[in-house]
Structure 1
Amino acid sequence: MPDHTSPEHAPAPDPVHHQGERPEGTVVFDVEDLAVYYGDFRAVRDVRIQVRQHEVTAFIGPSGCGKTTVLRCFNRMNDLIDIARVEGRLTYHGVDLYDAKVNPVEVRRRIGMVFQKPNPFPKSIYDNVAYGPRTAGLAKKGSALDDIVEQSLRRAALWDEVKDRLKASGLGLSGGQQQRLCIARALATDPEVILMDEPCSALDPIATGRIEDLMEEIKEQYTIIIVTHNMQQAARVSDRCAFFTTEVNEHSDTRTGLLVEYDATETMFSNPSDERTENYVTGRFG
């Protein structure tokens, strides 16, 4: 976020906060007219949503509609793609995430990400979780780092399963355990927001249930945005849903993703305002 080490950056507000300092329902992200391009190709257009604190927001829609592309905008992961550019406005507690003064590394510390396929580092379970705090300077070693590792593993509902083998490789865990280890790794840098890109797509039903239960538990401390193709999962875990679809571009065979509807999950699944949403959530297409 803004670099407060230099005076010229001082006017930008610091959006860091902890549980209890803001009331429920606070808008964390405000997105207006967001569009994402890869070179000349417009991948997504006209995204307007508000993501609220301590809620799970689900992005749903058919493959290729831009759900993951939009998700990656929230912690500036698209910056890592040379030909990608983002237009429109995306604010985090009122701070423009794409302002030149904002440090994308700090953005990714405060807004963590869990990917579709579990990707533990080829390190011990302990070092997987300790990596972020060490790198960010939150704790280098000793009891302070031990406490962060334990707390993060507890929040990820993994501590009881691994507390006696913290020096063992994270790669030796089951798929579901590896994904919870990745969640613990994301939590260890003390973020406010967790982005999850289809975190259960490679997991069996039991492991999926553990991750879903975990999301319900940790949303009291975090704000969560999840991309999922699983309509039942979206209905079970999310408070709000954003439905995306695609449109065929004139004069080409390409498709652009667009946001169709964004509302409370119960409304989206029982009484959506757009016929395209109803067709998708009822399985008529997708």
Structure 2
Amino acid sequence: MSLINATRPATKSRRLPPLLIFGLFGGILLIYFALPFAVFLSRTGSVSIVEALSQVASRTAIRNSLLTAPAATAIATVLGVPLAYVLARETFPGKRLIEALVVLPLVVPPVVGGAMLLSVVGRFTPIGAAAARLGIPLTDSLIGIVLAQTFVAAPFVVITARAGFGAVDERLEQASRSLGYGPIATFRRVSLPLTSRAIVAGVVLTFARAIGEFGATMMVAYNPRTIPTRIWVDFIAGGIDAIVPLALALLAVTFIVVATVQRFAGVPTAVEK
């Protein structure tokens, strides 16, 4: 015992310098993250936040974002969670291609993604023209915003939920099946509850990506304005000070999102402890 105790301080002392070096590198990155926030927030004193956010254009942009981002998140969740389960549990020809398609919207620049969407749902395409004849415009509308947000944000819930399903022991699902529950009942009673925390994290990340989406939205539905597109218009007209109020509103939503992710995805459960 005394020999083990004698070696512990030496081991810790050998590990300390590398940890300090790692902390130094990490600290530089943290400063790089924090400095823009600090400098930007210091400009709030020169702008009337309440007055700016009470303007019709700002209120409309906030309303549009708070309408479309939840809708895009709901669509991504309803369609993405089943896809995530299939990818986690099944092996079939073409699976690698499907996995690539899921990741592709994350790799493609948003502006390019918006251009690709326009090639499918633009007003002069067969789908876009047919929808317009029915009185459902797919561009320059709230529907167009939802389409753009879903395209760029849905991969987050698919990837996160797939990782959650992959972490579930398949023997638990097999036990459920042996007790007479079918595939759907097993998914609902066993797989879904065990993966709920990962799914919630994916949903929150999807919402955060959707509400902050600019590039694809600008291409598909520059009007009506969302918070990001309104910020761009205000920046062109008045510079950084002009965008402070809406940027703060968007940051407030982002901070709520981060807190939610930490609550549902960062706190270990009793089993993990």
TM-score (norm 1): 0.24
Structure with greater proportional helix content: 2
Query: Larger radius of gyration, structure 1 or 2?
Result: 2
Between structures 1 and 2, the one with greater strand share: 1
